[in-house]
């Protein structure tokens, strides 16, 4: 029994080290005059089954059910204009790529609902199967799968994200700031 506990403890430590190594991404991205680091200090976050509101009206929900079917995922995805399946929560992302997605959406002032896939291995597997996309985070706009961090970052850098947000009824803060700069 002791050996079993030790093995579980060692296994958890190994996974944590591996996760940190794979997710460490100290790059800095520049958008207009705004500098965004995809590594920001983590804040403590208590586990909760409650929906909680975050900066820019982000919501994180938790569903402890281990049975995720396509109908359930579709309902989760259609619950908000922007839905992100990520590692961690918006105030404490557990992966540099999830953090980058949060930072980009915050930069645009976009509200979104976030689902923490680390709370359920079944949710992580179900969303990957649902989209046929192998990585997390996964972003949905108005029920449509957009892609992961790389796709969102590319759309942000080439300006497509502003147009995509406009299509779902969200005016980007970056566009508002740019218009304000031109009026001065």
Record the tokens describing residue 158, joined without a space: 């080439």
Quote the pTM value. Answer: 0.63
Mind listing the pLDDT tens digit for each residue in 62-91?
A: 444 457 888 899 999 998 999 999 999 999
CB atoms within 10 A of CB 133: 16
Burial of 151 by CB count in 10 Å (0-12 exposed, 13-18 middle, 19+ buried)? middle
Mind listing the pLDDT tens digit for each residue in 149-165?
A: 999 999 999 999 999 99
Mind listing the pLDDT tens digit for each residue in 84-136?
A: 999 999 999 999 999 999 999 999 999 999 999 999 999 999 999 999 999 99
Q: Domains of the chain, with CATH numbers?
A: 26-39+47-183 (3.40.30.10)
């Amino acid at each position: 029994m002791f050996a079993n506990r030790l093995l579980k403890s060692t296994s958890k430590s190994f996974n944590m080290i591996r996760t940190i190594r794979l997710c460490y991404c100290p790059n800095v991205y520049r958008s207009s005059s705004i500098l965004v680091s995809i590594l920001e200090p983590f804040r403590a976050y208590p586990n909760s089954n409650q929906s909680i509101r975050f900066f820019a009206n982000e919501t994180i929900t938790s569903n402890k059910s281990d049975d995720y079917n396509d109908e359930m995922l579709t309902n989760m995805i259609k619950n908000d204009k922007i839905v992100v399946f990520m590692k961690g929560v918006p105030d404490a992302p557990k992966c540099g790529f999830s953090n980058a997605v949060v930072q980009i959406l915050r930069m645009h002032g976009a509200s979104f609902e976030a689902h923490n896939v680390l709370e359920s291995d079944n949710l992580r597997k179900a969303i990957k199967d649902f989209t046929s996309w192998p990585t997390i985070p996964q972003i949905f706009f108005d029920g449509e799968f957009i892609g992961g961090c790389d796709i969102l970052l590319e759309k942000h850098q080439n300006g497509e994200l502003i147009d995509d947000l406009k299509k779902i009824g969200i005016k980007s803060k970056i566009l508002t700031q740019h218009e304000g700069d031109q009026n001065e």
